[in-house]
Amino acid sequence: MKVTEKLNKGRPTLSFEFFPPKTPEQEAHLFEVLGQLQKYKPDFTSVTYGALGTTSGKTFRWVREIKDKFKIEPVAHLTCVAATQDSILDQLKELKGMGVENILALRGDPPEGQPDFTPPPNGFRYAKELVAFIKKHQPGFCLGVAGFPEGHPQSPSLAKDTEYLKEKITAGGGYVITQLFFDNRHYFGFVERCRKAGINVPIIPGIMPIISLKQVKKMTKVCGATIPADLLAKLEKNEKIGIEYAITQCRELLERGVPGIHFFVMNQAGPITQILSQLKTF
């Protein structure tokens, strides 16, 4: 079933995001995690795509595993930063052959240290080009796109960032999953900017429970998100408050009518189980 259909059921959706494991031990662990989280009956589960498409084979393999073995609707991440049109066509054909209906269409990050990275000939510079390309050649896919509540790190302003997002929606994006954030005001302000700009698709907040402060600091540096100063001070004294903070975040978001919650699981079931046990919505 398409994600947009699930979003029209009149209740908040629940979704998880995993990354492809690199070792046999990590693979065994991910099977355990999926088994533990399956009981919550997620509406869909997304699988990330490595830098420059380096894990595309593993991504697609886990998309198949999630769909066939766990009977959960998969959303395959697909990035275009180093891809050619022919390679994207091949991957779309492969996904269609698996019976996959949902794709999260992303530009992806250029190689580290190459801010002026040039796409290959017959390639893509922006996610909006990927979205339009998929809609032209495989219109049956349901496409989600990424949104940045605090603005994309490379956007000159929040206004421009909203403009870029609207271009992705106009090209065929059916819903938005946001990058992580730790102050709900950023999410609600983002939604308000989008609605004023005429972006009317569902905007699903992406939540990352803070388990490791070191890890989160690294991720926020890459994606442009921030950690509120008061929260940071508390985390530096006690990282364990991260789970309780995520519960508080989710409660407010759900009370204010978000279309769903998308958890960045980091391939760990424990924190998500703790959070969902405290939320009565799911």
- Residues 121-145 have a mean pLDDT of 95
Confidence of residue 40 (pLDDT cuts 50, 70, 90): very high
All residues at 6 or more sequence positions from 76 whose CB lies less than 8 Å from its CB, including other chains: 46, 47, 49, 59, 60, 63, 95, 100, 102, 103, 104
Q: Of the residues 5, 17, 94, 163, which is catalytic?
A: 17
Axis crossing angle, helix 56-68 with helix 85-98, rounded to the nearest 10: 20
Residue 119, pLDDT > 80, answer: no
Domain ranges across the chain: 3-278
Residue 121 pLDDT: 86
Residue 112, pLDDT > 70, answer: no
Residue 189, pLDDT > 80, answer: yes
Residue 17 among the catalytic residues: yes
> What are the pLDDT digits (tens) for 41-86?
999 999 997 654 455 678 899 999 999 999 999 999 999 988 999 9
Host H or E run for residue 264: strand 260-264
- Tokens representing 71 are 């009977």
C-alpha dihedral, 57 to 146 to 187 to 206, nearest 10°: -10
Say if domain 3-278 classifies as CATH 3.40.50.300: no
Q: Identify residue 200 by its one-letter amino acid code.
A: N
Percent of the chain with pLDDT strictly greater than 70: 95
Whole-angstrom distance, CA of residue 250 vs CA of residue 262: 10
